[in-house]
Amino acid sequence: MNPNRYHFARHERVDYLHAWDEQRRRVERIVTEGAPGLFWLLEHDPVYTVGRSGQRGEIRNEAIPVVESDRGGRVTYHGPGQTVGYVIRDLRPNIHAVRAHVFRLEEIVIRTLAGFGLLAEREAKNPGVWVNGEKIAALGVRIRQGVAYHGFAINRAPELSAFAGIVPCGLQGRGVTSLFRLGIEVERQELERRLRSAFQDIFEAEWMESS
């Protein structure tokens, strides 16, 4: 079983619950069949998701649906204009290499943003990616039977006012930004092309033809 084998998929819009279910199906296939990993780029309809460390009390806007997810982290928003990257990857036999996996997910975003001339940074205590002290990409993962899933969400041009309805990632007083707000207008397909290229380099991915 080659851990560097991946399928790549992209979809215009996928319901969060459906995407979550599909990720768990892929995890099961990796565990039972040795299926390739998956790098999946998509958008979601507007939804607030509550991670395992989050609380519903961190949500102030009741007009947007809420899903209690099994990913790590607290509360975040997904919606049109935001590119979500799900990375389903077998960590075995190094099933405790979660920090290294998170580092690589952040690196995908950091390298991609560098291509637009942006200096993006990590914060030691707060997973995700930041530009000028404001969050531009959220991150959360889950490990199940030695396989990592969930991933990152990068703000291309979402409706940033939706973040005002929550305490983003549990951080009071911290701003949220986007490529558009920073003066960078990029088509979704171009952003995805750059993310896929960064993923291939960082994970040394060998793309497999999808069935």
Active-site residues, by number, are 169
User: What is the spatial distance between Cα 173 and Cα 171, in angstroms, rounded to a whole number?
Assistant: 6
Rama region for 173: left / alpha / beta (φ>0; ψ in -120 to 50; rest): left
> Tell me, what amino acid is at 211?
S
155 in Cβ contact with 82 (< 8 Å): yes
Measured at the CA of 33, the angle between CA 201 and CA 43, to 5 degrees, comes to 50
Sign of CA dihedral 69, 75, 79, 84: negative
Q: Tokens 């399928």 belong to which residue?
A: 7
